Amino acid sequence: MRLISWNVNGLRACMQKGFMDSFSALDADFFCLQETKLQPEQIQLELPGYTQFWCSAQKKGYSGTAIFAKKSPISVTYGVGVEELDTEGRLIILEYDSCYIATCYTPNAQDGLKRIDHRLAWDKAFREKLSSLAERKPVIVCGDLNVAHQEIDLKNPGPNRGSAGFSDEERESFTTLLEAGFTDTFRYLHPDAVGAYSWWSYRFNARKNNAGWRIDYFLVSKELNGAIKKAEIHPEIFGSDHCPVELELNMEV
């Protein structure tokens, strides 16, 4: 089973930059998007063989997630279940016989960490939601989680210490999520890989110089560790300031 996660930074814009070519080439069983920045009626997307699930922000042109699935789920849930956290279209959960598959676009703490309280409230509710699901069956969750966990996960950790996405609070919150029973699949297979990034600023020729951050993840319940076959990052694929990340598992839904 192959899964792809990609923050497209506006799907309509990404469509003009080769999205469909990348979608076809990657040929995933589940294709998960973040930061779609649209309402479903604002795009006509023909994806034969896939069922489309959309979760849009109330504010138009902002945030939003989607999953395109080859197999229809038993049930679909949107959001963490906390009203004040569920206005921005940040979470979709599909239930299958063998597992849950979810995609998430975690709130950005923003410059000066001015939204850190909201971010940490989201992290807590998200962690509790995943933990409650994991009590029933294994969880596979992907997305732009907006945190570089360790210094190895960004090019310039020193100058960025305390910045949004690399604050002590966000890093500790991510550690707490992993300790709740989840595995960072990329680090599971590639514990010492350096220069492995999924997001680059549009400034300072960051992508050309590979001055990036790894903030896009696939996490799985630890009981699925033995099924992890491949966890890859695709920096060769353009169209967004993020690139797609991939997970292949020796299992079926």
Mean pLDDT computed over 150-155 = 98
pLDDT at 17: 98
pLDDT at 243: 98
Q: Residues 89, 60: contact at Cβ < 8 Å?
A: no
pLDDT at 106: 98
Q: Residues 75, 92: contact at Cβ < 8 Å?
A: no
pLDDT at 136: 98
Single out the residue of 17, 52, 12 nearest to residue 35, CA to CA. 12
Give per-residue pLDDT as tens, 163-219: 999 999 999 999 999 999 999 999 999 999 999 999 999 999 999 999 999 999 999
pLDDT band at 121 (very low <50, low <70, confident <90, very high): very high
Give per-residue pLDDT as tens, 41-99: 999 999 999 999 999 999 999 999 999 999 999 999 999 999 999 999 999 999 999 99
Share of the chain above pLDDT 70, in %: 100
Q: Which helix (H) or strand (E) holds 122?
A: helix 116-134
As a whole number, the mean pLDDT across the chain is 98
pLDDT at 71: 98
- State the CB neighbour count (10 A cutoff) for residue 30: 22
What DSSP string runs through 157-172? HHHHTTSTTS-HHHHH
pLDDT at 165: 98
Share of the chain above pLDDT 90, in %: 100
CA distances from 70 to 62, 83, 84, 93, 184 (A): 26, 30, 32, 15, 24
Model-level pTM?
A: 0.98
pLDDT at 187: 98
Mean pLDDT computed over 220-226 = 98
170, two tokens: 């966000």
Among the listed residues 29, 86, 100, 105, the single catalytic one is 105
105 is catalytic: yes
50 is catalytic: no
Give per-residue pLDDT as tens, 14-28: 999 999 999 999 999
**Spatial separation of the C-alpha atoms in residues 22 and 2, rounded to whole Å:** 14
**Spatial separation of the C-alpha atoms in residues 103 and 42, rounded to whole Å:** 21
Among the listed residues 144, 153, 184, 216, the single catalytic one is 144
pLDDT at 184: 99
